[in-house]
Amino acid sequence: MRIVILDGHTVNPGDLSWEPLEELADVKVYERTAEEDIIPRCKGAEIVLTNKVVLDAHVLNMLPRLQYIGVLATGYNVVDIEVASRQNIVVTNIPAYSTESVAQMVFSHLLNIVSRADYYANENRRGRWSQSPDFCYLDHNLFELSGKRMGIVGLGHTGTATARIAQAFGMNVQAYTSKEEDELPTGIRKVSLDDLFSTSDIVSLHCPLTEDTHHLVNKQVLATMKTSAILINTGRGPLVNDEDLADALNHGIIAAYGADVLTTEPAPADNPLLKAQNCYLTPHIAWATREARERLIDQCAANVKAFIDGEPINQVNV
């Protein structure tokens, strides 16, 4: 069998090995693939692996030999699942490989916002501390996380991991979730979505992107939040309305926003969040710790081997 990897660079920019896959079949790795190159590169391959390259109906209809698509991520909206199923193409994903890494990024953003470590480090590089008449200087109000109320929207793997870390900081955790109250981990209180946004000091988004959650955070919801509230988004960019959120930040309707995702990626230069006040963005790297990427490649290889053996795992179009 022949395996084609369409966009291997983000998963493995050179610090890891594709050997687990190379032991299974002939592997051709492309670091990036433009839209016009997808079909020529995939022709003749039984197995195609993609992270963000879109495999739509037109592409799939042009690849009669294709038997398997492995999405190198948890979300699989880059594949036309209906067409793949109709053509008996197995589609798999990589679930839960980056849970701890993404939860860690939630608190990277949160701690940066409440402690301003990056700001003060940059000030000191410019000589600010050396010129200070006092042993310290304070430009921002700093506050403790202990005792604050954290609201988590979506209590799957990552939401649960985030809740566990929040509790370790001494925070009171409440969640909006489809789980029943008696299914929740100890110490987490189930609340309505309205209550969560209006009463939380910090809100962290971990729900999937659906028609119901698209622009979940909008002008109306932002108006119900505390002016001191911090919003964190390591889920999906379109969970928030970028324009509404930028306006809320610039007018002090909420205090700060930390996110690892945007509605469109890479970030368009005119996205208002890039220049909004108290907005802190990282370039979709929460998933990309070395450990998480190693797990991703290992699980991808396990998925492919299971398919070759005739017993697919992590199939999303059963």
The neighbour count for residue 267, using CB atoms within 10 Å, is 16
The bridge status of strand 202-205 relative to strand 149-153 is parallel
Active-site residue, selected from the candidate residues 109, 149, 284, 295: 284
- Residue 49 corresponds to which tokens in the numbers above? 């692996």
Per-residue pLDDT tens for 127-157?
A: 999 999 999 999 999 999 999 999 999 999 9
DSSP state of 280: E
Q: How far apart, in Å, are the Cα atoms of 133 and each of 123, 138, 143, 155?
A: 15, 12, 24, 48
Q: How far apart, in Å, are the Cα atoms of 212 and each of 10, 109, 160, 239, 316?
A: 30, 26, 21, 10, 21
Weakly modelled stretches of the chain, pLDDT under 50: none
- Residue 29 corresponds to which tokens in the numbers above? 């790795």
Per-residue pLDDT tens for 151-200?
A: 999 999 999 999 999 999 999 999 999 999 999 999 999 999 999 999 99
DSSP state of 205: E
Q: Is 236 a catalytic residue?
A: yes
Q: Please, where in the chain does CATH 3.40.50.720 lie?
A: 2-93+290-308, 99-277
Q: What are phi and psi of 275, to 5 degrees?
A: -120, 10
Query: Does the domain formed by 2-93+290-308 have CATH 3.40.50.720?
Result: yes
Active-site residue, selected from the candidate residues 236, 290, 295, 311: 236
Q: Are 149 and 199 in contact (CB under 8 A)?
A: yes
The predicted pLDDT at position 318 comes to: 83
Q: Is 284 a catalytic residue?
A: yes
Q: What is the CATH class of 99-277?
A: alpha beta
Q: How far apart, in Å, are the Cα atoms of 42 and each of 38, 55, 85, 248, 285?
A: 6, 10, 18, 45, 27
Q: Is 214 a catalytic residue?
A: no
The neighbour count for residue 230, using CB atoms within 10 Å, is 24
Threshold 0.85, pTM exceeds: yes
Active-site residue, selected from the candidate residues 86, 265, 290, 291: 265
Reference 238, options 204, 193, 197, 208; nearest CA is: 208
Q: Are 8 and 18 in contact (CB under 8 A)?
A: yes
Residue type, 166: A
Residue type, 246: A
